[in-house]
Amino acid sequence: MKFHKEGYTSLALVVLFVFIINAVANYYDAPQFLKWFLYALSAFLVITILQFFRSPIRKITKNEGVILCPADGKVVVIEEAEETEYFKDKRIQVSIFMSPINVHINRNPLSGVVSFFKYHPGKFLVAWHPKSSTDNERTTVVVRNRNNVEVLFRQIAGALARRIVWYVKENDAVEQGEEFGFIKFGSRVDLFLPLGTKVNVNIGDKVVGGKTVIAEL
């Protein structure tokens, strides 16, 4: 288990805050119950940051014929939907909700070349809201594999997630299972797969980024 690089700033701010409030409490000789409350609050804040930005070491088994899960979380949508930004036709949409307790690393669901990328500023509706896919802050990534199959996936900010980080751009070569981004504090990832793709998960399933096989091409 490692600590993700995206958490360094958050951890530094929390440690600074903890140091200040405890130093002030001790300097003014606060009542003992208040000191213990601040100690408990300090431990809670530090542990929360450490668990949120944890980066588990995972052995990724690459397979050109499958779509690996891009994120840890729970499957909340499986349906045929119109994709209006890039494909402009019907696709199979699979959406994964990431709660604050999940690992928030986002991984490439397939290997290939990034044929399209766009960042969209937007709102911060709750991640399970039907309009979050089109109205929230988000990124859109399309990867084309060597068989010319394209898969679109989106990072979508939620009510708490106020920062989306991405590590890819158009024409980048990407590897299945490698990190393509990170979303802070609760979010969602949508996949848009070609019609006819065999989906291997069900609504309500808990899935693991880079490990769970979402679908077979």
Please say if 42 is a catalytic residue. Answer: no
Q: Residue 186 and residue 207: Cα distance in Å, rounded? A: 15
* C-alpha to C-alpha distance for 90 and 84, rounded to whole angstroms: 9
How far apart CA 55 and CA 13 sit, in angstroms, is: 19
Task: Identify any residues that bridge with 95 across adjacent strands, giving them in sequence order.
Answer: 77, 190
Beta carbons within 10 angstroms of residue 16's beta carbon: 10
The active-site residue out of 95, 111, 133, 187 is 187
Evaluate whether 215 touches 91 at the Cβ level (below 8 Å): no
Would you tell me the crossing angle of helices 32-52 and 8-27 to the nearest 10 degrees?
Answer: 180
Q: Are 1 and 54 spatial neighbours (Cβ–Cβ below 8 Å)?
A: yes
Spatial neighbors of 42 by CB under 8 A, at least 6 apart, are 18, 21, 22
Catalytically active residues are 187
